[in-house]
């Protein structure tokens, strides 16, 4: 089923207008963020009080269950980034052993036997409805190969390439993995729960701990609304990853999989889904996951939806390669807007470009492996560049317009290597 998603700006504008009219709720949203949202409208004094919840401590440390060998992962606080070079030993899909983990707190241990999904809210025609895992498995299943990619993937390059620091985890390019997901359609579950024609937003919430920011604000449990148009389009309630039950770190027993959208839309360990007849806000669509900065309005951009376009080499950073030998440079390219149509590679810092060979049939929301031969004839430092284009007509730019939280980096990355005699 294909529906035209509501344009991002009209989605956001409508929610803001409705919120101002007292029709939308913002449980747990930081009041400061709502004030900022309202600043442009000159209505900050209209913000109701009592929007913040009492603080609860979130556990510190990686808190990830699976092994994280250093040759495959870089640890960033509670998160594990995949080393892109480690993907060279994997196929088109990313095994769990190599798949990045982005946890706001720690991986919870959920018992699938007692696990229930509660679907509730005034966007339903009747009362709340609960589903067991067996209930979901009885529904028609859909299998789909798709990447999950963090909105902040590539953030580190705002600092290192553009000299424009950005707050948040300093991911290089490994906050992405592609898996074969299997699950029930969220659309089927919503219809069974009695979706009302008045429903506008759908907000899945995780069972992991409440998230406490570094400044001590309790954002509550991880949750982010999506418009009903996306929920009914292609979103899955996934219970399998690469043909096996979801592993604990990736959302066992059930996670949301929102293809092509930024990773935060794919809520892990989903416990309940609010279906609302009024627009919803959470910190994950007010303070976080919008674009703020010089190029954006004071209240930020509309909430981010789709990921962008990127490519990467499966090579360690600053690796030394012998001169006068033929190397096979490999990498991956991906886009949330269309199929990858072309990857070009430059081995002279961007002076000249050659086309790489594409190795996978390409689809929106997955990646395509590519390769190009290279026989370096000059020793010393070199910069390798890859530049992908997709069927929507976009090509990776030289720079990305900066935003303070470093989201959606899509510029060509300059990969440093050394050529030795």
Q: Which of residues 155-194 bind ligand MTE (CB under 6 A)?
A: 177
Q: How far is the CB of 257 from ligand MTE (least distance, A)?
A: 10
The answer to whether 372 contacts ligand MTE (rule: CB under 6 A) is no
The site for ligand MTE, by CB under 6 A, has a size of 19
The answer to whether 29 contacts ligand MTE (rule: CB under 6 A) is no
Q: Name the one range near ligand MTE by CB under 6 A: 68-76, 94-102, 117-125, 327-335.
A: 94-102
Q: Which of 263, 279, 331, 338 binds ligand MTE (CB under 6 A)?
A: 263
Q: Name the one range near ligand MTE by CB under 6 A: 125-133, 261-269, 292-300, 370-378.
A: 261-269
Contacts of 376 (CB under 8 A, 6+ apart): 321, 323, 324, 325, 327, 347, 382, 419
In order of 48, 104, 222, 335, 404, the CA distances from 288 in angstroms are 20, 13, 12, 22, 11
Q: DSSP class of residue 372?
A: E
Tokens of residue 389, six digits = 């284009």
Q: What is the Cα–Cα distance from 174 to 414, expressed in whole angstroms? A: 15
Site string for ligand MTE, 205-244 (x = CB under 6 A): -x-x-------------x----------------------
The answer to whether 104 contacts ligand MTE (rule: CB under 6 A) is yes
The answer to whether 252 contacts ligand MTE (rule: CB under 6 A) is no
The answer to whether 203 contacts ligand MTE (rule: CB under 6 A) is no
Provide the residue count of the chain.
Answer: 421
- The β-bridge relationship of strands 319-322 and 236-241 is unpaired
Q: Give the sign of the dihedral formed by CA 404, CA 406, CA 410, CA 414.
A: positive
Q: What is the Cα–Cα distance from 121 to 127, expressed in whole angstroms? A: 8
Q: How far is the CB of 271 from ligand MTE (least distance, A)?
A: 9
Q: How far is the CB of 354 from ligand MTE (least distance, A)?
A: 33
Q: What is the Cα–Cα distance from 20 to 17, expressed in whole angstroms? A: 5
The answer to whether 273 contacts ligand MTE (rule: CB under 6 A) is no
Q: Which residue is nearest to ligand MTE (CB)?
A: 206
The answer to whether 257 contacts ligand MTE (rule: CB under 6 A) is no
168 Rama sector, left if φ>0, alpha if ψ -120 to 50, beta otherwise: left
Beta bridge partners of 342: 389
Whichever of 233 and 249 has its CB closer to ligand MTE, that residue is 249
User: Using CB under 6 A as the criterion, which residues of the chain lie in contact with ligand MTE when the complex forms?
Assistant: 99-104, 148, 150, 177, 206, 208, 222, 250, 263-264, 266-269
């Amino acid at each position: 089923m294909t529906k035209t998603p509501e344009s991002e700006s009209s989605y956001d504008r409508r929610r803001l207008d409705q919120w101002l009219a007292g029709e939308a709720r913002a449980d747990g949203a930081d009041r400061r963020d709502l004030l900022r949202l309202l600043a442009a409208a000159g209505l900050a004094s209209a913000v109701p009080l009592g929007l913040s919840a009492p603080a609860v401590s979130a556990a510190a440390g990686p808190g990830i269950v699976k092994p994280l060998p250093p040759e495959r992962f870089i640890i960033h606080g509670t998160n594990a980034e995949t080393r892109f070079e480690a993907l060279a030993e994997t196929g088109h899909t990313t095994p769990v052993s190599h798949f990045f983990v982005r946890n706001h707190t720690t991986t919870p241990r959920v018992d699938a036997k007692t696990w229930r999904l509660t679907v509730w809210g005034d966007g339903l025609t009747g009362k709340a409805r609960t589903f067991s895992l067996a209930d979901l498995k009885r529904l028609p299943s859909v299998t789909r190969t798709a990447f999950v990619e963090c909105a902040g993937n590539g953030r580190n390059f705002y600092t290192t390439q553009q000299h424009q620091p950005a707050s948040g985890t300093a991911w290089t390019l490994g906050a992405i993995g592609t898996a074969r997901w299997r699950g029930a359609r969220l659309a089927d579950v919503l219809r069974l729960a009695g979706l009302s024609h008045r429903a506008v937003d759908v907000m899945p919430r995780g069972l992991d701990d409440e998230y406490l920011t570094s400044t001590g604000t309790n954002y509550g449990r991880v949750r982010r609304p999506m418009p009903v148009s996306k929920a009914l389009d292609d979103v899955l309630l996934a219970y399998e990853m690469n043909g096996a039950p979801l592993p604990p770190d990736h959302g066992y027993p059930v996670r949301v999989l929102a293809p092509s959208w930024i990773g935060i839309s794919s809520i892990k360990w989903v416990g309940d889904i609010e279906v609302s007849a009024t627009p919803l806000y959470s910190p994950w669509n007010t303070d976080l996951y919008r674009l703020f900065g010089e190029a954006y309005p004071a209240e930020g951009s509309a909430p981010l939806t789709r990921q962008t376009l990127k490519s990467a080499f499966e090579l360690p950073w600053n690796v030394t390669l012998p001169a006068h030998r033929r190397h096979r440079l490999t990498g991956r390219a991906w886009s949330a807007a269309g199929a990858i149509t072309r990857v070009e590679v430059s081995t002279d810092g961007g002076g000249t470009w050659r086309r790489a060979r594409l190795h996978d049939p390409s689809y929106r929301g997955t990646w395509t492996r590519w390769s190009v031969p290279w026989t370096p004839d000059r020793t010393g430092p070199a910069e390798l560049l890859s530049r992908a284009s997709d069927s929507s007509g976009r090509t990776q730019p030289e720079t990305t317009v900066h935003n303070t939280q470093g989201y959606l980096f899509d510029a060509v990355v300059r990969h440093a290597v050394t050529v030795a005699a």
